[in-house]
Amino acid sequence: MSAGTPLSASGGPSAAAAEEALEPCAMVIFGASGDLTHRMLLPALYNLALDRRLPPRFAVVGFARSDWTDDEFRRRARQSVQQFSRRPVDDAVWESFANSLFFVSGEYHQPQAHARLAALLKKVEKERGTGGNHLYYLALPPTTFPLIIGGLQKTGGIGRDHQRDGWARVIVEKPFGADLESARELNRQVHNAFREDDVYRIDHYLGKETVQNILVFRFANGIFEPIWNRRYVDHVQITVAESIGVGQRGSYYDATGALRDIVQNHMLQLLSLVAMEPPIAFNGRAVRNEKVKVLHAVRHLAGEEVDAATARGQYARGWISGQEVPGYREEDNVSPHSATETFVALRLFVDSWRWADVPFYLRTGKRLPKRSTEIAVQFKRAPHLLFRDIADVSAMEPNFLTIRIQPNEGISIKFLTKVPGSPVRIRPANMDFIYGASFLVQAPSAYETLILDALRGDATLFTRADEVEAAWSIMAGVLERWQSAPPPAFPDYEAGTWGPAGADALVERDGREWRRL
Ligand code: NDP
Ligand code: BG6
């Protein structure tokens, strides 16, 4: 695999050949006037066009209530690309890409709007040779999904004869449900219309290069797997720290909170990749089977256990990088009395032969001092402290293996070494692999990788129905306890600090501490 080549079951050296074979397709984005389309999807599609990775016969049809024409959609798409593309706009590539963009305006529940969409798809099929294959992207609030799926079923957009009429796949954005019940219901609704193999539940963390590299790191090397277990690992810390607040997404976030927004999806995905057994093959089924097993092995928390194993917080006004920032309750579209958590820390156990009694500490928060996502595996100390009489034992930090997901993507191993000279002094040192220094190519964005995989029909990096339900079932006891407890004393951490005191207490009770990032 060359650097920068996305890792998916169809990736690798044959990826270029696979791209040539990409089937024609029309991609329909529902919610095409929204933030996700603007900041992520259009720039990702443009970058795929720039790399000639889109199918040769391809079109994008935006659908939303906004009263836009094709030209308006194209004009706004250019703005999106100018503002958010990882590479500058090339006019020739842009022109050809822009010609593949179309727009349908209408209400999601209106049969006439779906009829207009169906007519446009027929026209596009004829003019651009997209061959009747449709990739639907649900980039809008989940309340609209049943209306959209119902409309597509009625106009023959799905549920057709695959051999004769082409395929229909659907990409569903996160959060997939708000709890176990609603996720099950959403799965039922989606399965009414699509086969599970055609459903691509997106978690953009799985499209990140460094997240995909966890599998390569663990299973392409022989030296790490033998120590990747309870005999050698003391505990694992997974951190998703953000310095940003909730921005323009206040109303979404206030109804969601950090547990549902980040822990249930991104963090449990990281945990399952770190803790999974080696899959028997590198394909969507085998990899996801192993990930699901980890989620099923995570011990559920309930009642008072939740109080001991979790901490939540909400940021107050504070300072980040020399700038004063508002408290969460002062953000746009957030209730001034909000009890929504913007920080979560929790301790989980994976009850398996490999991980019995090894704590996995997870923490995530908004308005923390810096943006940093990492997985740190702390190893047990050497069994016999040979140097205790001649060296300062307190300087003898444990070994850490750290996978930095972002920024400064890379992997570090911390080990003890002798300071030159005498007497013997021992200090920690780092062995560092830094992506940017080792590979000179720029990695594709997560959305580029994931859209390309959905076009290929490779679901390895997408979340399966049972996986998403298993993840929600881990959260169920916590959500229930938090809901029934009296409102927490929020806000309880200043923006620009590392979260509430309860987060420190959580690890300190176990005689451990959070890594300083
Ligand atoms: P938006 O709130 O921007 O909504 C997208 C579009 O959907 C809007 O432009 C609007 O278009 C339409 N819409 C919004 N609310 C409703 C409604 N109640 N009923 C019908 N149509 C509505 O969402 P985002 O683009 O931010 O997110 C889309 C999806 O992606 C969501 O599921 C979100 O959770 C997920 N997501 C978003 C991320 C982001 O960074 N934005 C990150 C990760 C996931 P119109 O009025 O023109 O019909
Ligand atoms: C999204 C969350 O899924 O992930 C956001 O909804 C969060 O709240 C974002 O900011 C973080 O993604 P990244 O790629 O910036 O780590």
Residue type, 139: A
Question: What is the set of domains in the chain, with CATH numbers?
Answer: 15-173 (3.40.50.720), 206-508 (3.30.360.10)
CA of 11 to the centre of ligand 2 (A): 25
**Alpha carbons 443 and 439: distance in angstroms, whole number:** 9
**Which residues neighbour 335 within 8 Å (Cβ) at sequence distance 6 or greater?**
254, 329
Angle of helix 42-50 versus helix 91-98 axis, rounded to 10:
120
Residue 253 CA, closest ligand 2 atom number: 8
Does ligand 1 have an atom closer than 6 angstroms to the CB of 141? yes
Q: Whose CA is nearest to atom 16 of ligand 1?
A: 141
3-class DSSP state of 316:
strand
Q: Flag whether pLDDT at 8 surpasses 90.
A: no
**pLDDT tens track for 327-364:** 999 999 999 999 999 999 999 999 999 999 999 999 99
- To test ligand 2's pocket by mutation, which of 262, 265, 268, 375 has the most ligand atoms within 8 angstroms of CB? 262
CA of 252 to the centre of ligand 1 (A): 9
**pLDDT tens track for 106-119:** 998 888 999 999 99
Does ligand 1 have an atom closer than 6 angstroms to the CB of 173? yes
Residue 246 CA, closest ligand 2 atom number: 8
How, if at all, do strands 343-349 and 310-313 pair? antiparallel
**pLDDT tens track for 224-283:** 999 999 999 999 999 999 999 999 899 999 999 999 999 999 999 999 999 999 999 999
Q: Whose CA is nearest to atom 48 of ligand 1?
A: 65
How, if at all, do strands 25-30 and 493-494 pair? unpaired
Q: Is 266 a catalytic residue?
A: yes
Does ligand 2 have an atom closer than 6 angstroms to the CB of 261? yes
**pLDDT tens track for 123-140:** 999 999 998 999 999 999
Does ligand 2 have an atom closer than 6 angstroms to the CB of 242? yes
CA of 450 to the centre of ligand 2 (A): 15
Residue type, 393: V
Does ligand 2 have an atom closer than 6 angstroms to the CB of 374? no
Name the pTM for this structure.
0.93
**Cβ-contact 367, 242 below 8 angstroms:** yes
What local confidence, expressed as pLDDT, does residue 350 receive? Answer: 98
What local confidence, expressed as pLDDT, does residue 281 receive? Answer: 93
**Alpha carbons 321 and 239: distance in angstroms, whole number:** 20
What local confidence, expressed as pLDDT, does residue 7 receive? Answer: 52
Q: Flag whether pLDDT at 405 surpasses 50.
A: yes
Q: Whose CA is nearest to atom 14 of ligand 2?
A: 205
**Alpha carbons 121 and 363: distance in angstroms, whole number:** 45
What local confidence, expressed as pLDDT, does residue 372 receive? Answer: 97
Q: Flag whether pLDDT at 3 surpasses 80.
A: no
How, if at all, do strands 323-325 and 318-320 pair? antiparallel
- To test ligand 2's pocket by mutation, which of 242, 254, 315 has the most ligand atoms within 8 angstroms of CB? 242
CA of 210 to the centre of ligand 1 (A): 27
3-class DSSP state of 502:
helix
3-class DSSP state of 373:
strand
Question: Radius of gyration (Cα) for the chain, nearest Å?
Answer: 24
Does ligand 1 have an atom closer than 6 angstroms to the CB of 67? no
What local confidence, expressed as pLDDT, does residue 163 receive? Answer: 53
Does ligand 1 have an atom closer than 6 angstroms to the CB of 33? yes
Average pLDDT, the chain: 92
Q: Whose CA is nearest to atom 8 of ligand 2?
A: 261
DSSP 197-259: GGEEE--GGGGSHHHHHHHHHHHT-SSSGGGSSTTTEEEEEEEEE-----TT-HHHHHTTHHI
Q: Among 79-83, 141-145, 263-267, which stretch is predicted with the lowest mean pLDDT?
A: 141-145
CA of 407 to the centre of ligand 2 (A): 13
Residue type, 328: Y
What local confidence, expressed as pLDDT, does residue 17 receive? Answer: 43
What local confidence, expressed as pLDDT, does residue 18 receive? Answer: 45
CA of 34 to the centre of ligand 1 (A): 5
Does ligand 1 have an atom closer than 6 angstroms to the CB of 186? no
**pLDDT tens track for 22-78:** 999 999 999 999 999 999 999 999 999 999 999 999 999 999 999 999 999 999 999
Does ligand 1 have an atom closer than 6 angstroms to the CB of 144? yes
% of the chain surpassing 90 pLDDT: 82
Tell me which ligand sits closest to the C-alpha of residue 333.
Answer: 1
Q: Flag whether pLDDT at 5 surpasses 50.
A: no
Residue 65 CA, closest ligand 1 atom number: 48
Average pLDDT over residues 92-121: 94
What local confidence, expressed as pLDDT, does residue 351 receive? Answer: 98
**Which residues neighbour 130 within 8 Å (Cβ) at sequence distance 6 or greater?**
24, 25, 26, 57, 58, 59, 121, 124
- To test ligand 2's pocket by mutation, which of 35, 172, 204 has the most ligand atoms within 8 angstroms of CB? 204
- List the catalytic residue out of 38, 235, 266, 384: 266
Burial (Cβ within 10 Å: 0-12, 13-18, ≥19) of residue 441: exposed
**Alpha carbons 175 and 268: distance in angstroms, whole number:** 13
CA of 342 to the centre of ligand 2 (A): 12
CA of 39 to the centre of ligand 1 (A): 12
Tell me which ligand sits closest to the C-alpha of residue 146.
Answer: 1
**Alpha carbons 347 and 205: distance in angstroms, whole number:** 21
